[in-house]
Structure formats: structure tokens, C-alpha cells
Amino acid sequence: MRSVLEMLSGGGYVSGELMSRELGVSRAAVWKKITVLRAQGWQIESGGKRGYRLVCEDRLEPELWTGSLTTRAIGRGEVRYQEAVGSTNAEVKQMALAGAPGGSLCLCETQTAGRGRLGRRWESPAGVGLWQSVLLRPALPPQNAPLVTLCAALAMARAVEETCLLDVRIKWPNDLIFQGKKLCGILLEVGGDLDAIEYIVVGVGLNVRSGAYPPELEGKAGAIGEFTTPPHRRDILVHYLAALEDMVGRLEQQGFHGIEAEYRARSCTLGSRVQVSGSVSLTGTAEALDETGALLVRTDDGELHRVLSGDVSVRGVMGYV
């Protein structure tokens, strides 16, 4: 059953008569609902005979964007939207354990305990970013789970290109970079065992307007709004969900080869000099990815190293000069 908010989500005028007909309620009931929405803070203009128009703010309520979805499954399961949550990854993990279907998701305006990679915190101030996590139950062997992180990076890169016209690059494994600034981070959490993946939580944080960054990211983190006028976050979301479904489908059907060419094309790591720190420390040239998504780095002594995780700095990008 559609709602008044959903009918107004296109941003144009919709007459009270049309809403009452479509929703199967009286004109008085429509008017009452408009009054309630206004009291909740929604700005709704009355245009006489033309009806009502929602002054479309950058809000993320599902009623405003689920009607624009082009996906088969993602965004069509359980959709949880809250003003504030601890971490959308933690919420989606709970949803997964409670049996929610693949394609469910959680998004919010602010996270009070946003999680980053390598045990770090992820600052998620209210209203300035897209903080969301998607639940996947993919038909993939467990060793391919890390490749889903590359799918998410590709999907968000595509969404940002389509909606913001910014040609963002991917720094391995999954940071989105534009003009030397990190705009987006991705955190994957996998449930299951050595034989089968039970679920994957794909958490993505995209800085849309400038917010507060942790001190170690000062000068390194950035937001879309520093480079262009950002679109509504829900537009980026809808494009991202469609691209994610496409990428994960390709991975399920063709394995790594289904995403390899696009990853190479959007990568700022492959072919560059890199410094790796973490469980191993080395400097060399990033030559390729293997079938599991690991980075193959050739050091100057000619040896090829397989890097599975860690921090990678790319010469010329974010501080490595």
C-alpha cells in the first residue's frame, strides 16, 4: 500500500483527488495526513488546484526512494531506516542472524559507533553522509567473500560517477579517492564457516558533505561537496544498489573475471609504486590482483608478494610522494 509521502516523493504537484483515489481514502484523510507530515517537519507546499508538492530535501526515508529502485532483490527485503544507530553493520548482522532475506538493508542519518577497517572508528555525523549496510546471501564459495568488497567499491564508484559526474578511483582494496582525498570506506563482515557463506554485511560510508574527520585523516579525507554540488543522497543510494546487484551477479556467474576489467580501469593502485604496511611491510610496484582479490606487488629485487590485507599507500595519492 503506497503512502502520501511516497506519492509526493517525485517532487512535483500531486492533487488531493488523485491521492485519495490511489490510496483509497477520503480527501479529508489525505488532508489530515498532510497536516501530520507538516507537523513532523516535512515542508509541503499547497498549490491550489494542482494539489501538494513536497519540497524535496535531502532525506533518506525509504518512502522517498524505494519507488525508484531498479533492482531485483537488493533494497526489496527488510529496509530499516533510523535517525541514529550504533553501527549499520551491527544492525544488519542482527537482522541476518534473525533470518532477514538477502537484499535487506539498514541506513541512518548518524552512527554513534561507526566501525572502520582495522578496528578503527568511522565518524558518521548527522545528515552529511550515506551510512548504510546491505545484507547479501550470495551463491559464492567462501574464498570469494573478499571479492565482494571489490564489488562494493566498484558499485559506489559507478554510482558516484553517474550521479555526481566525478571520476573517482579505487585505492586497493576499497577506498574511493578523488583528487587525493578519500571519499568513501567499505567494511565487509562475513558470517559462515569454511564450507559456506551464511551472510555478508557490506557496509559503506560515503562522505557527501563535509563533516568532522578523525585527526589521522585530516587533509586526507574529503567529501563530494568539496568538488561538486552533491545530489540527494537517496539518488546516489538507488544507483549504488543497482550497481551492487549487477557486480555481485557478475561475480556469482563468472567469478573474479566478471569484475576484473572494470576494477583495473577504476584502480589507482594497479601499475603504481606502493608502500604496504600492516602484517607485512614492503615497497614495490602493484602489478595485478589474483583470483582471490589479493594484491600482487613486485619488490625491486624481482620477487612477487601476495598482499591479503593491510594499509597500502600509492605514490602520488594521499601523502605518499
When asked if residue 136 is in the footprint of ligand BTN (CB under 6 A), the reply is: no
When asked if residue 207 is in the footprint of ligand BTN (CB under 6 A), the reply is: no
**H helix and E strand count, the chain:** 7, 14
State the minimum distance, in angstroms, from the CB of residue 136 to ligand BTN: 14
The DSSP element (H or E) to which 266 belongs, if any, is: helix 257-266
When asked if residue 267 is in the footprint of ligand BTN (CB under 6 A), the reply is: no
State the minimum distance, in angstroms, from the CB of residue 107 to ligand BTN: 8
Do the Cβ atoms of 185 and 116 come closer than 8 Å? yes
State the minimum distance, in angstroms, from the CB of residue 212 to ligand BTN: 14
Q: What is the DSSP string of 192-211?
A: E-SS-EEEEEEEEEEE-S--
When asked if residue 240 is in the footprint of ligand BTN (CB under 6 A), the reply is: no
When asked if residue 133 is in the footprint of ligand BTN (CB under 6 A), the reply is: yes
Q: Which of residues 48-77 bind ligand BTN (CB under 6 A)?
A: none
Of the candidates 120, 264, 273, 305, which one interacts with ligand BTN according to CB under 6 A? 120
Residue 52 or 122 with smaller CB distance to ligand BTN = 122
Sheet holding 295-299, edge to edge: 304-307, 295-299, 282-289, 273-277, 311-314
- Of 56-64, 70-78, 119-127, 219-227, the segment contacting ligand BTN by CB under 6 A is 119-127
When asked if residue 88 is in the footprint of ligand BTN (CB under 6 A), the reply is: yes
- Of 202-210, 211-219, 242-250, 300-308, the segment contacting ligand BTN by CB under 6 A is 202-210
Closest residue to ligand BTN, based on beta-carbon distance: 185
Greatest CA separation for the chain? 79
With CA atoms as reference, report the closest residue to 251 among 148, 156, 154: 148
Q: What is the DSSP string of 129-167?
A: EEEEEEEE--S--GGGTTHHHHHHHHHHHHHHHHHH---
- Which residues sit opposite 187 in a β-bridge? 203
When asked if residue 199 is in the footprint of ligand BTN (CB under 6 A), the reply is: no
When asked if residue 131 is in the footprint of ligand BTN (CB under 6 A), the reply is: yes
When asked if residue 116 is in the footprint of ligand BTN (CB under 6 A), the reply is: yes
When asked if residue 269 is in the footprint of ligand BTN (CB under 6 A), the reply is: no
Residue 9 or 174 with smaller CB distance to ligand BTN = 174
Of the candidates 122, 172, 213, 263, which one interacts with ligand BTN according to CB under 6 A? 122
Do the Cβ atoms of 89 and 115 come closer than 8 Å? yes
d(CA 51, CA 276): 59
Of the candidates 9, 104, 111, 313, which one interacts with ligand BTN according to CB under 6 A? 111
CA dihedral sign of residues 233, 236, 240, 241: positive
- Lookup: cell for 119: 578496528
When asked if residue 233 is in the footprint of ligand BTN (CB under 6 A), the reply is: no
Orientation angle between helical segments 147-164 and 257-266, nearest 10 degrees: 50
When asked if residue 213 is in the footprint of ligand BTN (CB under 6 A), the reply is: no
Q: Which of residues 158-197 bind ligand BTN (CB under 6 A)?
A: 175, 185-187
Residues in the chain: 321
State the minimum distance, in angstroms, from the CB of residue 229 to ligand BTN: 23
Task: Give me the long-range contacts of 13-17 (CB less than 8 A, separation at least 24).
Answer: 13/47, 13/50, 13/51, 13/52, 13/53, 14/51, 14/52, 14/53, 15/49, 15/50, 15/51, 15/52, 16/51, 16/52, 17/51
When asked if residue 114 is in the footprint of ligand BTN (CB under 6 A), the reply is: yes
- Rule CB under 6 A: which residues touch ligand BTN? 87-89, 111, 114-117, 120, 122, 124, 131-133, 175, 185-187, 203-205
